[in-house]
Amino acid sequence: MALLCHPDIHAIAVSWDRLLGRHQRVLESRLAKLGIPSPPEEFVRYLLSCLGSYNARRNNSDQISPAVERTAIESYEARNQSVEFRCECCGYHFREEDMSSRRLAISEECGLSCAEFIDPRRSEDIVKPISSPGSKDRCYTKLELDHVVPQSSLGWASEDNVRVLCRFCNSGKDCYMRPMEAYSVILKNSLAATYRDISEIGRTLVTTVATLRSCDMGCSFAELKETLS
């Protein structure tokens, strides 16, 4: 991801239309100058897909097409080996009210099962609120489609870069592939142990919990406290 943000590499995305088919040759030349003279073909194709998607998105406000949205939901069972429709980060069930009518219809066609109620552990989890403090409309249980490689890091909007997350976990990623990727493990654990009042911490705690849960460290405060002790 740092390589994609390098000025010499990012410039390829900005001037994509002017390269006229020379994209791979130019990319390989600039990689060589950065000390990567013979990159694997698969790696080069990956970088080109990221860089090319930036140009395609600049004039496209609809980041995820209905076709990609459908494919992401239809392939959920294959990715997770389960028909229980859950967030692919924290594992909590989605309810029907967590989805738009279109997404609900697709999930029903695929035989995915939703929960009738919010999991009691989710309701009692003090470090993972159901809604944003002071904003009833900001419900963190809502289903969102997440770019694994984020849009801000030139991530592409196709089915191989999209997964299903709840709004809480998706908001915790910010501009990284994994929640709180930019912070050290020590900082993550320090924040988790220090902050206990969710009204005071906002996105910091959201990011912390999403990170710990994605690392299979548990998502409830009790599990977190036991892990850190």
Residue-wise pLDDT for 156-200, tens only, equals 778 888 999 998 888 776 555 555 555 555 555 555 555 445 444
pLDDT of residue 113: 95
Nearest Cα to Cα of residue 73 among 162, 161, 155: 162
pLDDT of residue 61: 44
**Distance between first and last Cα of the chain:** 33
Give the rounded percent of residues in the chain with a pLDDT score beyond 90. 27
pLDDT band at 218 (very low <50, low <70, confident <90, very high): very low
Angle ∠(30,160,175) on CA atoms, nearest 5? 65
Which range is least confidently modeled, 43-47, 67-71, 129-133, 211-215? Answer: 211-215
Mean pLDDT of 189-214: 54
- Retrieve residue 18's tokens: 């002017």
- Please tell me the distance from the alpha carbon of residue 20 to that of residue 84, in angstroms, as a whole number: 46
Taking CA atoms, 151 is separated from 11, 29, 50, 54, 64, in Å, by 16, 25, 9, 8, 11
Question: At which residue do the structure tokens 């809604």 appear?
Answer: 131
- Retrieve residue 82's tokens: 């389960």
- Please tell me the distance from the alpha carbon of residue 215 to that of residue 51, in angstroms, as a whole number: 29
Give me the chain's average pLDDT, please.
76
| Residues sharing a CB contact under 8 Å with residue 19, sequence separation 6 or more, in sequence order | 12, 26
- Please tell me the distance from the alpha carbon of residue 119 to that of residue 95, in angstroms, as a whole number: 10
State pTM to two decimals. 0.55
Nearest Cα to Cα of residue 158 among 2, 49, 36: 49
Taking CA atoms, 13 is separated from 33, 34, 148, 159, in Å, by 18, 17, 19, 21
With contact defined as beta carbons under 8 Å apart, do 80 and 88 qualify? Answer: yes
Q: At what angle do helices 41-57 and 7-14 cross, to 10 degrees?
A: 50
